Amino acid sequence: MSANTTTLRVKTPPGFRVDAGALLPTALAGLSVAEIERIALPGGNEECVVGDVFEVSRHDAPVTGDDLATLTIDGATPWLDRLGAQMDGGRLVARGSVGDYSGFGMSGGVLYIDGDAAHFTGCEMRGGRLTVSGDSGDFVAGALTGDMEGMSGGTLTIHGNAGARLADRMRRGLVLVGGNAGDFAAARLVAGTVGVAGQLGAHYAYGMRRGTLLLARRPEPLPPPTFAGGGHGFDVFWSLLIRSLAAEIAPFSQWRADRLPVRFTGDLAVDGRGEILVAG
C-alpha cells in the first residue's frame, strides 16, 4: 500500500482570479497526472486548465500510519480563491498566501495555509481542521451575506490577526486567533467557542446569544454595556475547557485549571446566555 501525494507548483500566473474549488486531495488522488492537468479552473468570464498554471507531479510513499490523500500547492498566491472549499477529507497544504473563501463549507480533512488568507476564511465551515499560519481577512468563520448560519463545526486556527466580523453567526466549533481581531468579533454568536489572544476592535460580542468568547487580554470597555458579572461555580467547566485546548496554540494551551478567569454573561439586549471569559 502507498500514500498518495500530488504536488502542484505554480509556473504561469493566469492573469485573473481562479476558483480553485476543484483542487481537492481526495478527488485528485484517483486521477492520473494527465487527467489532473486537464481540469478546468474557472475565473469569472475566463477559464484556464491546471496544466496551463501548474506543474503537476505525483509521489507515492509507503503508508506509515498516516494514509491521508495529500495535495500540496507550492507557490500559492492570492489569486487562488475557494481553496479547500467543500473539502470533506484528505490533507491540503498551501505554501504561500491564498485568496478568498478558503475552506468554505469544508466538512472534513486538514487544510493548512502557510501564509495569509483573505476574506471569508472558514466561512460556513462544518468540520475538519483549518490552520492559517499568518493573518486572515474579514468574516472568518462567518456566514455569507443573507445566510443565517456561520461556522457549525470543526477547528479553525489563525496564528496571526483576523479582520472584522470574526465568527459572525457561528453556531458550533472552535476558533482561535493568536493575534488581534477586528470590529464585531463574536457578534451574533449562537454557540461555539471563540478565543482571541490579542486586542479586540469595537462592538465585540454584539448580540451574542450563547457560546463562549475567550480573551487572553482585558479589553476596553469590560464588560460591554449589555453584559453583567458572571459569578462563580464554573470551575469544572473551566478545567474541561482548558484540557481540550492543551494541544492548541499559545496562550490558550498554557492556561491552568487553578487560575479561574473573570466571567461576564450576556448579551442581555437579546436575552443572551453567552459568556466572556477573561484569562489575562
Q: Per residue in 195-239, pLDDT tens?
A: 999 999 999 999 999 999 999 999 988 999 999 998 878 899 999
What is the tens place of the pLDDT at every residue in 233-275? Answer: 889 999 999 999 999 999 999 999 999 999 999 999 998 899 9
Please give the model's pTM, rounded to 2 decimal places: 0.95
Strand-pair partners of 81: 19
Higher-confidence residue of 4 and 81: namely: 81
Q: What is the torsional sign of CA 186, 161, 195, 150?
A: positive
The CA dihedral of 190, 263, 184, 133, to the nearest 10 degrees, is -90
Grid coordinates representing 278? 477573561
Taking the C-alpha atoms of residue 233 and residue 76, their distance in angstroms, rounded to an integer, is 48
Work out the percent of the chain whose per-residue pLDDT is above 90. 90
The Cα angle at residue 21 between residues 100 and 164, in degrees rounded to 5: 20
Q: How many residues does the chain have?
A: 280
pLDDT of 61: 64
What is the tens place of the pLDDT at every residue in 135-150? Answer: 999 999 999 999 999 9
pLDDT of 272: 86
pLDDT of 151: 98
**Contact indicator for 194, 172 with CB cutoff of 8 Å:** no
**CB count, 10 Å around CB of 273?**
14
Mapped onto helix, strand or coil, the DSSP state of residue 195 is: strand
Grid coordinates representing 155? 477547528
The reply to whether omega before 267 is within 30° of 0 (cis) is yes
Burial of 199 by CB count in 10 Å (0-12 exposed, 13-18 middle, 19+ buried)? middle
Phi, psi of 244 (to 5 degrees): -70, -20
Looking at every residue in the chain, the average pLDDT score rounds to 94
DSSP state of 126: -
Say yes or no to pLDDT of 1 above 60: no
Taking the C-alpha atoms of residue 66 and residue 116, their distance in angstroms, rounded to an integer, is 26
